A and B are shown apart, each in its own frame.
Chain A
């Protein structure tokens, strides 16, 4: 995967991409999804990745998570990566606790220790009372919290979240924003958070990068120094989101993409 030796060793939790290109398919059907992608994510940073449909946001996460390799360029990640999807993807035959335990078991954690840790992690996502419930007995938001506990169980330096709250209703999503932020503030892992939702990016992230397609690349970089906690519906968040939405619209218009939405 790495073609050149890094000059400076990468810090724990840092992510660095240089000239990354990703092509899917071969020969006549080849589609360049990412082109000349340069990106630095600092350890402990909460980075939002915003962009229209098909701009390669999810591909970027797959690369960082190691699910696929770049066609060319270098990609370095300082430490283990965990990935959270839009769907919770819980195993329906396991209880909430056993779903979390599975992540621990696959890391070789012993039986009694993983039981205790799974309980503790479910407590952190405020699902302590639901440890013995099966996924189908939980609501969408609760399932996504179990998935969050499972991500925490992986004890990763970098957590990639691919529109993790996209399928939730607005109220549940607000609660999840608080929860994700709280847990991130406690643990300080690096987050790469893909979202369509510009306000969500402003609500959560230290910095938002705007991706444009196709082929996908970083077109804009918006640091967000607003104090936390931020309120989704506050004028400050709305104003900043407005600026971001404007550049997103310009980017989308310049590429004549019609299938996007911004809130």
Chain B
């Protein structure tokens, strides 16, 4: 070993600024417009197509009312004292069912991701459940739990949990092997490996799974509310069914719009979360 001719402190002090400094990236003011402008365009296209269909005279007005009539009805529905409790009931069913699905789906996903045996045995079962229309569960749920809240919750959970579990699994599968090697080098094993590396690394795919799980939960809930009427506790789906029974096409379409809008808002929230995560990791494309 040889002695240095220059002391290291001297060399540190004459060090230059790094040459390879990347360009700073500014904020993007158009992002908000893109995020919220796209649904507005989608609605405009939809309303135009609808109006054209009405004008074509394919079905009489009382069966297929136009956007103007329906939006007027929407105005009266929004001040209807029975609407808001129904909306609240539906949303609380959705949130409760989805929350239970998140707990169960996440637990199953993590357990399967952590064990090769469990993964092999229930991995394909999860995918199978995901492809099964959740409305198929209703007869069994009603038989087991009766015609009530619990049956609806059960079907919502069964609809959403497989997607959430799958989100966890694909998130873990997509982690670069280098992360696991890094974990070993840093001495992170088991719980600490999961906490510091696996779970945060799998988060973007998990959020995608949550988004899909929410979509399935919402569909299952609407199917459930069309099939199951709890006296004195009707939700949006029940109001939709009443409209059809009374031949009230305008009310029916107005409720469909409410259901559509709720779905779109939820999707926007999940998309914004996902974009935030990907941008923070430098994964979002700059367009």
Contacts and interface: CB of A to CB of B under 8 A. Distances in A.
Contact of B280 (A103, A106, A134, A138): A134
Contacts of A103: 186
A227 B281 contact: no
A150 B130 CA distance: 42
Interface stretch (B6-14, B87-95, B225-233): B6-14
A143 B4 CA distance: 27
Interface string A159-174: 0000000000101100
B25 interface: yes
B11 A83 contact: no
Interface in B1-51: 1-6, 8, 11-12, 15-16, 18-22, 24-25
A182 interface: yes
Nearest to A136: B282
Interface in A84-127: 85, 87, 89, 91-94, 102-103, 105-107, 126-127
Contacts, number: 104
A142 interface: yes
Nearest to B11: A182
B59 interface: no
Contacts of A154: 186
B188 A171 contact: no
A91 B178 contact: no
B274 to A, nearest CB: 13
Contact of A92 (B20, B181, B281): B281
A198 interface: no
A45 interface: yes
Contact of B2 (A171, A179, A225): A225
A178 interface: yes
Contact of B185 (A65, A127, A141): A65
Nearest to A90: B182
A67 B181 contact: yes
A149 B188 CA distance: 18
Contacts of A55: none
Contacts of B3: 227-228
B196 A175 contact: no
Nearest to A229: B6
Nearest to A87: B178
Contacts of B12: 182
A31 B215 CA distance: 50
5 contacts: A45-B1, A67-B181, A136-B283, A137-B282, A171-B19
Given A91-B197, A137-B22, A228-B3, 16 more contacts: A67-B184, A92-B280, A92-B281, A92-B282, A92-B283, A93-B281, A94-B200, A107-B187, A134-B281, A134-B282, A137-B282, A139-B22, A140-B20, A185-B8, A186-B8, A228-B4
Interface of B: 1-6, 8, 11-12, 15-16, 18-22, 24-25, 178-179, 181-182, 184-188, 192, 196-197, 200-201, 203, 277, 280-283
